[in-house]
C-alpha cells in the first residue's frame, strides 16, 4: 500500500494515458502539473487534502474519480470544460460552496456523484440539461431551495438521490425513465404526494420519508408494477391508505393521522398477520371437528346395528338403555358441529 505524497512530476508525462492510485494511504495535495493526454484518473480512497486543481479541468479525461478523500475546496466552475467526462465522482470529501451551473456543459456525463460533502445553495436549473445523465447522487449535503422543474426533461435518468438536504417546495414531474431509485428523503418537501409518481412504472425504490408531505396516500402508487419498497414514514400523512399488493413493502410509521385500524385491507401488517392465523385455525378446527363427528357417527352405527340383523323385542328391551346413550351423544355432536359451522361462517 502506497504512502506519502504524490510527486509533482508523477502525473505530468505527456504519454501518460491511465493512472489508478486508489485505495492507498496517499497524503498531501493533488499536483497541478497533470498531463493533458490523461484519459482516466483515479485517486479514490486516500487522504488527499487541499483544492481540486484547476488544471484538471483542461484534461481530455472521460473518467475522474477523486472520491473518499479530504479535499477541501469549492468545485471549480472550469470543471464544465471537461466535455469528454462520462464519469465524475467527487463524493465523500469536504467540498463546500454551491453547485457551479457550468456543469451543464458536461453533456455526455452519465454518472455524477457529489454526495457526502458540504455543498450549499440551490440546485441550478441548468444542472439538469445533460440528456445523457443516468445516475445523479447529491445526497447528504446542505442544498436548499426547490427541485428544478427541468429535471423532468432528463430522458435517460435511472437513479436520482437527493436525500438528506434542505430542499423544500413540492415534487416536480419526474422522468419516467427512473428505474433503480428515487430518494427524496430527509428534506423539507411539502404538499400532497403527487399522484403522477404512480406513473413511474419502472421504479423499484421510492423513498419520501422524513419530509412534511400532507394529505392521503395516492392510490396511483399501488399500480407501480416494478416497485418493491415504498418509504413514507415520518410525514404528516392522514386518512386510510390504499391497499398495496404483497410485492410492495410499505412503511408508514410516524404519520400520526394515518388510520390503519379502520381498514383491514390497508398496510397494517400486524392486523393482517393476526387475522390470517385465526381463519386458518378455524378451518383446521372445522376439519378436525368434522372428522371426529364422522368417527363418532360410525361408532354409533356400530353400537346400534353392529350385529348386522334386527334383534328380538326382548333383546331390544334389554339394550334400550344402551340405545338412548348414543342418541344423546349424537345430539351433542350435532350441536358442536353447528357451532363450528357458525365459526367458519364468521371468520372464514
- Alpha carbon distance 127, 336 (integer Å): 74
Q: Which segment of 152-156, 167-171, 204-208, 214-218 scores lowest on mean pLDDT?
A: 152-156
pLDDT > 60? residue 298? no
pLDDT tens profile 165-212 = 999 999 999 999 999 999 999 999 999 999 999 999 999 999 999 999
pTM: 0.75
CA-closest candidate to residue 29, choices 15, 14, 8, 10 = 8
pLDDT tens profile 245-287 = 999 999 999 999 999 754 444 443 333 322 333 333 333 334 4
pLDDT tens profile 87-128 = 999 999 999 999 999 988 888 899 999 999 999 999 998 888
Residue 320 has a pLDDT of: 36
- Mean pLDDT value of segment 329-336: 58
% of the chain with per-residue pLDDT over 90: 63
Give the relative orientation of helices 269-305 and 313-347 as an angle to the nearest 10 degrees. Answer: 170
Residue 278 has a pLDDT of: 34
- Mean pLDDT value of segment 303-318: 37
Q: Which three cell numbers stand for residue 228?
A: 418493491
pLDDT > 90? residue 313? no
Q: Which three cell numbers stand for residue 344?
A: 367458519
Cβ atoms of residues 8 and 33 within 8 Å? yes
Size of the chain in residues: 348
pLDDT band at 343 (very low <50, low <70, confident <90, very high): low
Residue 131 has a pLDDT of: 81
- The H or E element spanning position 345 is helix 313-347
Instruction: Give Cβ neighbours of residue 54 (< 8 Å, ≥ 6 apart).
Output: 32, 76, 78
pLDDT tens profile 57-74 = 878 889 999 999 999 999
| pLDDT top residue among 220 and 14 | 220
Core vs surface per residue 121-139: b (16+ CB within 10 A) or e:
eebbebbbbbeebbbbbbb
pLDDT > 90? residue 239? yes
CA separation, residue 116 to residues 97, 140, 142, 198 (Å): 13, 5, 10, 29
- Mean pLDDT value of segment 10-23: 93
- Alpha carbon distance 64, 19 (integer Å): 10
Amino acid at each position: 500500500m502506497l504512502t506519502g505524497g504524490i510527486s509533482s512530476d508523477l502525473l505530468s508525462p505527456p504519454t501518460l494515458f491511465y493512472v489508478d492510485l486508489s485505495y492507498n494511504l496517499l497524503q498531501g495535495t493533488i499536483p497541478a502539473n497533470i498531463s493533458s493526454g490523461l484519459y482516466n484518473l483515479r485517486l479514490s480512497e486516500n487522504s488527499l487534502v487541499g483544492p481540486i486543481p484547476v488544471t484538471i479541468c483542461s484534461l481530455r479525461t472521460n473518467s475522474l474519480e477523486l472520491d473518499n478523500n479530504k479535499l477541501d475546496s469549492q468545485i471549480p466552475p472550469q470543471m464544465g470544460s471537461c466535455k469528454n467526462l462520462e464519469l465524475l465522482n467527487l463524493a465523500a470529501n469536504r467540498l463546500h460552496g454551491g453547485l457551479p451551473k457550468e456543469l451543464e456543459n458536461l453533456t455526455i456525463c452519465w454518472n455524477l456523484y457529489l454526495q457526502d460533502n458540504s455543498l450549499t445553495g440551490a440546485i441550478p436549473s441548468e444542472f439538469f440539461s445533460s440528456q445523457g445523465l443516468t445516475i445523479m447522487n447529491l445526497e447528504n449535503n446542505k442544498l436548499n431551495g426547490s427541485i428544478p422543474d427541468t429535471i423532468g426533461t432528463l430522458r435517460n435518468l435511472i437513479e436520482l438521490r437527493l436525500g438528506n438536504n434542505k430542499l423544500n417546495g413540492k415534487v416536480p414531474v419526474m422522468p419516467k425513465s427512473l428505474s433503480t431509485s428515487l430518494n427524496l428523503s430527509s428534506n423539507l418537501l411539502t404538499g400532497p404526494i403527487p399522484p403522477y409518481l404512480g406513473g413511474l412504472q419502472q421504479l423499484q425504490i421510492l423513498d419520501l420519508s422524513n419530509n412534511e408531505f400532507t394529505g392521503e396516500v395516492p392510490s396511483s402508487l399501488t399500480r407501480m408494477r416494478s416497485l418493491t419498497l415504498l418509504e413514507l414514514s415520518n410525514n404528516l400523512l392522514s386518512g386510510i391508505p390504499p391497499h398495496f399488493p404483497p410485492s410492495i413493502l410499505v412503511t408508514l410509521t410516524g404519520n400520526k393521522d394515518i388510520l390503519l385500524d379502520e381498514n383491514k385491507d390497508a398496510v397494517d401488517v400486524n392486523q393482517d398477520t393476526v387475522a390470517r392465523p385465526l381463519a386458518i385455525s378455524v378451518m383446521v378446527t372445522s376439519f378436525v371437528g368434522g372428522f371426529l363427528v364422522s368417527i363418532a357417527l360410525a361408532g354409533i352405527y356400530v353400537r346400534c346395528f353392529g350385529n348386522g340383523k334386527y334383534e328380538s323385542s326382548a333383546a331390544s328391551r334389554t339394550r334400550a338403555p344402551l340405545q338412548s346413550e348414543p342418541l344423546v351423544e349424537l345430539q351433542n355432536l350435532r350441536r358442536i358441529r353447528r357451532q363450528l359451522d357458525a365459526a367458519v361462517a364468521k371468520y372464514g
